[in-house]
Chains A and B, each alone.
Chain A
Amino acid sequence: EAGVVQSPRYKIIEKKQPVAFWCNPISGHNTLYWYLQNLGQGPELLIRYENEEAVDDSQLPKDRFSAERLKGVDSTLKIQPAELGDSAVYLCASSLGGGDSMNTEAFFGQGTRLTVV
């Protein structure tokens, strides 16, 4: 079974340009996360979806970041316009979802490394 798939793996853009990341979670996983990870740091949550509903987006900088999860499966994360400080790894993860603790176990994609120049 395929794991969480993210694309692209790497992206280099000039500041003020738009960029989009795509994530295909594990089939059957209701919960989808987007995390940002700076070098040497732990992942920081940007947004969490339960099916197609964004249930926690308090950490998402809404002036420039947007996300969607149409039909509760694939998701895209967009930055427009990108700033130098947005350079980081953007990780997508999915989990089964639901009340059981084991259902929160997250499976991560390889991430997209964004460099803004």
Chain B
Amino acid sequence: TQLLEQSPQFLSIQEGENLTVYCNSSSVFSSLQWYRQEPGEGPVLLVTVVTGGEVKKLKRLTFQFGDARKDSSLHITAAQPGDTGLYLCAGDRNTPLVFGKGTRLSVIA
């Protein structure tokens, strides 16, 4: 059983479109992190959300932590080809950081 479920698994969109990817769990997390991974590289941290209902913005990326701290979403506005990559969420439950399987995003110019 996967602790963190990410959806969709794959997403291919045109440049300029908006998109949302989701990270869901039945467990409560003390914090949740989002990473982006490009081919041949390790994941790179984008943001950490800690408080239920918290919203954080990073340029065109908006991250939201669910009120119950069980789920999170990542919304990208006006996607660009440079946003292409594997988006991973990772949950912290005072145990080793646990990752979802990721959403592979492809933005086509």
* A→B interface (CB under 8 Å): 4, 33, 35, 40-45, 48, 56, 91, 93, 95, 99, 101-102, 104-111
Contacts and interface: CB of A to CB of B under 8 A. Distances in A.
Contacts, number: 61
Given A41-B102, A42-B101, A45-B98, A105 B43 contact: no
Contacts of A95: 97
A110 B41 CA distance: 5
B33 interface: yes
Contact of B42 (A41, A45, A105, A111): A111
B29 to A, nearest CB: 9
Contact of A110 (B35, B42, B94, B98): B42
Interface stretch (B14-22, B44-52, B56-64, B77-85): B44-52
Name the interface size band of chain B.
20 to 34
8 contacts: A41-B102, A91-B43, A101-B31, A102-B48, A105-B33, A105-B48, A107-B45, A108-B43
